[in-house]
C-alpha cells in the first residue's frame, strides 16, 4: 500500500493547490480506494472556494471527509468514484462511490462506500451525490400524476430534479433558466424549457434551485393558488428579499426547504442514508444523465481550473480525471 496521496486543498479563499498528504494505516473495517473520477459540485464547491460559508454554518456544511476548517485551509469535496484496492474481500476490485474529497487515494470505513451497479459507468457515477439530492427533493415534493411542475434553475441539482420529474406520468415539467443554452439540456432530459419571463404558470409545484432571490420570487409567481415551492437553493452568506406582501397570503402559497443532510420526513422511518444513495446509483443506469457532464479536467489542473469554475455559471458537472495509478 502507498502511504501518501495527492489532494486538492483550498489554501486560502480563491486559491487552491495540490498537496502530498499522509494516508492512515487502514483498520480491519476500512477500505483503501484509488480514485478514478471525482466531480466539482459547481454551486456549493465554488461558494466554499470563495470563502462564502457563514460562520454559523461551518459545522453543518462540513463534508463527510473534509480535512481542515472553514474558510481555509481545507480539503473539501463529496463526489468521488474509485476502485477498492484493499479491504474486505467482497469489495476488493469493486468500483465504489464515496462522499470523499478530490484526492488520488483515501482510507475510509467500508460502510462509507457504495458499490456502483455493473450497468452504471464509473464516469457517470460521480453524479450520485447530486441525484441523491434530487431523490430527497422528490420525496419532499411528492409530485402527483398529471401535475404541472416548474424547475427554476438549471444547474446540476435542478437538472437532476427535472430528469426524475420527467418520469412522472402525465406531468407537465418545464425547466426554467436564464441561460438559453439550457434548452438543449432540457430536451435531452425529456422536459420543456423556458426563460423566466416565458415560463408556464398555474403550477401545482415549483422546485427552486437557482440560488437567486429573483428565481425564488419568480417561483412564487408561477404557482397556482395553494401551490408550493420546494426550496433547494443554499444562499451561503447572501441575503434574499421576497415579495411576501403581495398575494402570497391571499393565495395561500407555501415555501418549504429540502436539504439532503436529512432524509425527507415522508421516508425517514422507512429509508436509510444507504438506501437513498443506492437508489441514486441505480437511477444512474439511465444514459440521459450524461447530458449533465459539461466537460472533463485533469486532477493536476484543479488549482488553475477552480477560479475559472467559480466564474463559469454555464457549467453543470465538471468531471475530474486521475492519471496517477
CATH code of the domain containing 15: 3.90.180.10
Residues 206 and 147 in one domain: yes
Q: Do 246 and 136 share a structural domain?
A: yes
The answer to whether the beta carbons of residues 19 and 98 sit under 8 Å apart is no
Print the domain residue range for 12: 4-127+284-321
Q: Quickly list DSSP for 113-180.
A: EEEPPTTS-HHHHTTHHHHHHHHHHHHHH---TT-EEEEE--SHHHHHHHHHHTTSTT-EEEEE-S-T
Considering the domain architecture, whether residues 107 and 49 belong to the same structural domain is answered as yes
Does residue 277 fall inside a structural domain? no
98 and 26 in a common domain:
yes
Identify whether residues 163 and 222 lie together within a single domain.
Answer: yes
Give the tens place of pLDDT for each residue, 64-106. Answer: 999 999 999 999 999 999 999 999 999 999 999 999 999 999 9
Which grid coordinates are listed for 324?
496517477
- The answer to whether 323 and 299 are in contact (CB under 8 A) is yes
How many domains would you assign to the chain? 2
Report the half-sphere exposure of 171 (CA within 13 A, side-chain side): 26
pLDDT of residue 60: 85
- Mean pLDDT in consecutive groups of 10 residues from the start of the chain, 325 residues: 91 96 96 97 85 89 95 96 97 97 98 98 97 97 98 96 98 97 96 98 97 96 98 86 90 94 93 96 98 95 91 85 78
Query: Measuring CA to CA, which residue among 122, 129, 134, 65 is closest to residue 96?
Result: 122
Does residue 218 share a domain with residue 114? Answer: no
Q: What's the CATH code of the domain at 249?
A: 3.40.50.720
Give the count of beta carbons closer than 10 Å to the beta carbon of residue 309: 18
Residues 117 and 221 in one domain: no
Asked whether residue 112 is assigned to any structural domain, the reply reads: yes
In tens, the pLDDT along 131-145 reads 999 999 999 999 999
Tell whether 263 is covered by a domain: no
pTM reported for the whole predicted model: 0.92
Does residue 100 lie in a domain region? yes
26, part of any domain: yes
Instruction: Check whether residue 291 and residue 231 sit in a common domain.
Output: no
CA atoms within 13 A on the CB side of 98: 31
Amino acid at each position: 500500500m502507498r502511504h501518501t496521496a495527492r489532494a486538492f486543498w483550498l489554501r486560502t479563499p480563491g486559491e487552491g493547490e495540490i498537496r502530498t498528504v499522509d494516508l492512515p494505516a487502514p483498520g480491519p473495517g476500512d477500505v483503501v480506494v484509488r480514485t478514478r473520477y471525482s466531480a466539482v459540485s459547481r454551486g456549493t464547491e465554488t461558494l466554499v472556494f470563495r470563502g462564502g460559508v457563514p460562520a454559523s454554518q461551518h459545522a453543518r456544511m462540513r463534508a463527510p471527509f473534509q480535512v481542515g476548517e472553514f474558510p481555509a485551509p481545507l480539503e473539501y469535496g463529496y463526489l468521488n468514484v474509485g476502485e477498492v484496492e484493499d479491504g474486505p474481500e467482497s469489495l476488493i476490485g469493486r468500483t465504489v462511490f464515496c462522499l470523499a474529497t478530490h484526492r488520488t487515494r483515501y482510507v475510509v470505513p467500508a460502510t462509507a462506500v457504495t458499490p456502483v451497479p455493473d450497468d452504471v459507468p464509473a464516469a457517470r457515477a460521480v453524479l450520485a451525490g447530486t441525484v441523491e439530492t434530487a431523490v430527497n427533493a422528490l420525496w419532499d415534493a411528492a409530485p402527483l400524476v398529471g401535475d404541472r411542475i416548474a424547475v427554476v434553475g438549471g444547474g446540476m441539482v435542478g437538472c437532476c430534479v427535472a430528469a426524475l420529474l420527467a418520469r412522472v406520468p402525465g406531468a407537465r415539467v418545464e425547466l426554467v433558466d436564464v441561460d438559453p443554452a439550457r434548452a438543449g439540456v432540457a430536451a435531452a432530459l425529456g422536459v420543456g424549457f423556458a426563460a423566466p419571463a416565458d415560463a408556464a404558470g398555474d403550477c401545482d409545484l415549483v422546485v427552486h434551485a437557482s440560488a437567486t432571490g429573483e428565481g425564488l420570487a419568480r417561483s412564487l409567481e408561477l404557482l397556482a393558488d395553494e401551490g408550493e415551492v420546494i426550496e433547494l437553493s443554499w444562499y451561503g452568506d447572501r441575503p434574499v428579499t421576497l415579495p411576501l406582501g403581495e398575494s402570497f397570503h391571499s393565495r395561500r402559497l407555501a415555501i418549504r426547504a429540502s436539504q439532503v443532510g436529512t432524509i425527507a420526513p415522508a421516508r425517514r422511518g422507512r429509508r436509510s442514508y444507504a438506501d437513498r444513495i443506492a437508489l441514486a446509483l441505480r437511477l444512474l443506469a439511465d444514459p440521459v444523465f450524461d447530458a449533465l457532464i459539461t466537460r472533463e479536467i485533469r486532477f493536476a489542473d484543479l488549482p488553475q481550473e477552480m477560479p475559472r469554475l467559480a466564474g463559469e455559471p454555464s457549467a453543470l458537472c465538471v468531471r475530474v480525471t486521475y492519471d496517477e495509478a
